[in-house]
Amino acid sequence: MSKKQKQDKTVEAAKKKLGKMISKCRGETSQRTLAKSVGLPPSNMKYIEDGINAPTAETYTAIVQNLNPDKKMHDEMDRLYSVIRGAPPPDVCNIVLNQKGMNDTLRIIEGQELSDKQMEELQKLLTSFITESERGETKNG
């Protein structure tokens, strides 16, 4: 099997799994109700849940906002979305697009694989910036 065929199979499997997760997360809410709330025809929602189609960035964002999955499920849905689209989830893309200098900042680690400990430290550092922002200690000191 070629690399392209393997990748295609991986994407197809991810679409099916993401569709099942959306369906599970939807619970008792009807497919039609979810479709309406995210601005899709019901047939499109069915194709997404059946793993035939993948949601666009806008649709994925709306689905996640409407379903509000727990962190574990949301993380797995994001992982699957990334496998399917070959890009980070839309909220992460928005952070990169809207935060001046983020592209160059992330390029610092290009080609490196951070350890779990390094990721933990990076998360602590970023969390400390949020705390500073809340106290008004950002931008120009």
Domain boundaries, the chain: 3-108, 115-141
Lowest mean pLDDT among 59-68, 95-104, 116-125, 127-136: 127-136
Of 123 and 141, more confident: 123
pTM of the model: 0.84
pLDDT value, residue 5: 80
**Cα–Cα distance list, 131 to 38, 95, 106, 120 (Å):** 33, 17, 21, 17
Closest by Cα among 18, 3, 5, 2 to 85: 18
64-75 mean pLDDT: 97
pLDDT band at 137 (very low <50, low <70, confident <90, very high): low
In percent, the amount of the chain with pLDDT more than 90 equals 84
Q: List the Cα angle 118/121/133 in 5-degree steps.
A: 140
Token readout for 138 is 């950002």
**Res. 8: pLDDT tops 70:** yes
93-122 mean pLDDT: 93
93-118 mean pLDDT: 93
pLDDT value, residue 129: 87
Name which CATH class applies to 3-108. Answer: mainly alpha
**Res. 133: pLDDT tops 80:** no
In percent, the amount of the chain with pLDDT more than 70 equals 96
